[in-house]
A = this chain, B = another copy of it.
Amino acid sequence: MVGHPEDNENLTDNEGSTDGEDFLAAERDIRKRLGDRELDLDSLHAISNIYRAATAVRRRAEREVLAQHNLSWGGFTILWVLWVWGQMDTARLASECGLAKGTLTGMLTTLERRRLVEREQVKTDRRKVTVALTSDGLTLIEDLFPRFNAYEVAMSEGLSLTEKRELARLLRIVISNALQKGVRG
């Protein structure tokens, strides 16, 4: 048995408040509970909040912006990348979207069935396949993206311009660390 939940308070009897505020709870007093091991709590909070923010932002976007078009976050990302960058082969598309190749295949099939994207074999190298938006896909993303961006603005509420840029900058450092190859296992 770990910790003493009853020590400080009855954690379980404020059930109504599990949203919007007590997500901070998990951060409180962690040091107290963990004692003085050699832990870097600042790294912990920085990294774990990334994931927490990402799932919260994603889930809400899927509910409030994407669901009306039957798009998942991943599907939306695919359309967006193709919109901004134009057609590209699947390997690059997967990398741009942050997806495994195998994952992309299935999602492309879904999008293709809905006539939002099109696959085409590359003539000069028949191993490769390029993917492009159809006109339906173009219409959809052009209609949807401004609303998605408005959602991003809403998620950034309370951040100044400087802070948004700082947030993006700090995250880029983390991304770069995570994508770096070949650490010691």
Contact = CB atoms under 8 A, between A and B. Distances in A.
Most-contacted residue by chain B among A82, A96, A165, A178 (CB, 10 A): A178
A36 interface: no
Contacts of A170: 159, 163, 166-167, 170
B155 A178 contact: yes
A88 to B, nearest CB: 5
Q: Is the interface of A mostly helix, strand, loop or mixed?
A: helix
Interface of A: 1-5, 8-9, 11-12, 15, 18-26, 30, 33-34, 37-40, 42-60, 64, 73, 81-89, 91-92, 95-96, 98, 122, 128, 130, 132-133, 138, 145-146, 149, 152-159, 161, 163-168, 170-181, 183, 185
